[in-house]
Amino acid sequence: MAQHSTQEPLPHGLARAIRETADAIATLLHRAGDTSVAVPDSQWTLGEAAAHLALANELMADLAAGRERPYGDGTPQSLAAANVQALAAFKEREAQPLASMIQEQADAFLDAVHRSASDESAAGPALLTPLGPMDRHVLASYLLTHMLGHGYDLARALKRPHMIDRGRVGLCLPFIRSVMPRVADPAAIADLAARYTVRLRGGPAFGVSLADGAVLVTPTPLERADCTILIEPVTFLLIALGRRNPWRAIAHGHILAWGRKPWLAPRFPTLFTAP
């Protein structure tokens, strides 16, 4: 395994969360006897999902090191096509080697970020990613978010506990906020003028303004929001990643809404396509 610098060029806790999430996914895979089992609500098998994670971690490590890696054009269709092409060219489906690759490439990503921190500002210049330009801080948040989404899928397939918790969700927010304008559904937001504040229960809040077919996301809540949504953090991430039905979350009391137009709350998840 790679040696880690004592420097912390990433926001507090993010490097540790990346490393621990990769380790948790590897632990899941070490317990997998059959990688041909289906992943619930997916067209992939366990082995294909793990292979995708290994390849994605390698892609992120290359991007963090400043290497260009074209991968679709940012649309859901192009990313899905790129995933199919990458999996067709990469034949490994066994649990043990994929577990090792997921961990090694997460380490390679963190090492690349550490090396870049000594040469430039902490966040570094914008890097071209599958979901648009990002600095290394947001790219690290992207890596964590991606691992948590697919790690959740692997845990469901193996009927094991997942690794998403409140702290890790908070570390995913920089990526989620940055990518929301890019993944907004043009048809859904075309005629909508609305101001949302989204509050994670016991955690941070942010604002989302929609007008004239554009989305503006702010890292702080809006003062005069039409609708404030209070949501349990793990539920928030699972809905954002298309892993949970928002109506079920509302029925179970995991989402509350208030404001001048509280009826806008159920519409909010439909405005975006899960990245």
pLDDT tens string 127-180: 999 999 999 999 999 999 999 999 999 999 999 999 999 999 999 999 999 999
Whether residue 123 lies inside any domain: the answer is yes
pLDDT at 6: 41
The string of pLDDT tens digits covering residues 36-85 is 999 999 999 999 999 999 999 999 999 999 998 888 887 878 888 999 99
What's the pLDDT band for 268 if we cut at 50, 70, 90? very high
Write down which residue in 138, 163, 188 finishes a domain.
163
* 105 lies in the same domain as 218: no
pLDDT at 78: 87
Q: What is the mean pLDDT of residues 28-39?
A: 95
Query: Residue 16: helix, strand or coil by DSSP?
Result: helix
Question: Alpha-carbon distance 107 to 105, whole Å?
Answer: 5
Rg for the chain, CA atoms, rounded: 19
* 185 lies in the same domain as 226: yes
Query: When comparing pLDDT for 117 and 9, which is higher?
Result: 9
Write down which residue in 163, 195, 226 finishes a domain.
163
* 121 lies in the same domain as 33: yes
Percent of the chain past pLDDT 90, that is, above it, reads 86
Write down which residue in 163, 190, 219 finishes a domain.
163
Whether residue 141 lies inside any domain: the answer is yes
* 184 lies in the same domain as 132: no
Q: What is the mean pLDDT of residues 238-262?
A: 94
pLDDT at 123: 59
- Under a CB-based contact definition with an 8 Å cutoff, are residues 63 and 127 in contact? yes
pLDDT at 116: 85
Q: What is the mean pLDDT of residues 201-212?
A: 96
* 184 lies in the same domain as 267: yes
Question: Alpha-carbon distance 29 to 205, whole Å?
Answer: 34
Domain span at residue 145? Answer: 14-163
Q: Quote the number of domains for the chain.
A: 2
User: In whole numbers, what is the pLDDT of the chain averaged over residues?
Assistant: 93
* 49 lies in the same domain as 128: yes
Q: What is the mean pLDDT of residues 103-107?
A: 98
Percent of the chain past pLDDT 70, that is, above it, reads 94
Whether residue 6 lies inside any domain: the answer is no
pLDDT at 83: 93
* 150 lies in the same domain as 185: no
Whether residue 172 lies inside any domain: the answer is no
Whether residue 7 lies inside any domain: the answer is no
Q: What is the mean pLDDT of residues 6-13?
A: 76
Question: Alpha-carbon distance 14 to 89, whole Å?
Answer: 31
* 33 lies in the same domain as 139: yes
* 149 lies in the same domain as 197: no
Question: Alpha-carbon distance 94 to 246, whole Å?
Answer: 34
What's the pLDDT band for 5 if we cut at 50, 70, 90? very low
Which pTM value belongs to this model?
Answer: 0.93
Tokens of 274: 């899960």
DSSP state of 39: P
Whether residue 229 lies inside any domain: the answer is yes
* 150 lies in the same domain as 196: no
* 29 lies in the same domain as 92: yes
